[in-house]
Amino acid sequence: MTQAVVVVLAAGRGARFAGERAGHGHKLEQPFGASTVLGTTLAHAMQSGLPVVVVVTEPLLAHATSLLAARDIVVLPEMGDPASSAPLGMGYSIASGVSVRPNARGWLVLPGDMPMVQPATLRSVATALAQHPVVYAQHQGRRGHPVAFASELYSELATLSGDEGARRLIARYPAHGEEVPDRGVLLDLDTEADLHHLRAAHALLAAAVAT
């Protein structure tokens, strides 16, 4: 088996953000630091040293292609696409990402709208998979992302569908919370206010690193 793989989920519509920012593009394409929201999330994933796969829909394909090799990109139909009979949703996105790396030691599921998750956090969660079937990052006792699954859960992950994601697997198997000093595991982007908050947090972290 290879290393654990980071599966970045970027196939959602971001409907709440789109409603607030009509005509301003997908939330994952918003400027963030020196890149974009998705670009920063992927950069941190790649800096972890773990293999990375990103799951996108057609509107984000060009953006994803500018960041990763084509072999590491999974393209899904958009929700509501009448040409697709696939049971789309977060579960299907996870299954699609996991299925292209079936021989991995495990899979770390990371939403694409979490650009503050640090490379060291991903490495810590991946390391903990050696001892636990399910691992999630937590900060000060609060559960966050990524959530990781060991290789023995492949058959169940590969058949997920719908919007439930992997919650039933987390409930079924012993899950370990890996405590990390990374507040980014709790910070995602749903609204324009979230974007401003994430940008401020990113600026503070960059300033702290610079000093």
pTM above 0.85, yes or no: yes
**Largest Cα–Cα distance in the chain?**
53
Strand stretches in the chain, DSSP E: 5-10, 31-32, 35-36, 52-57, 73-76, 106-111, 134-139, 142-150, 175-179
Give residue 85's pLDDT: 53
93, 18 contact by CB (below 8 A): no
Give the confidence band of 86 by pLDDT, cuts at 50, 70, 90: low
Say if residue 84's pLDDT is above 80.
Answer: no
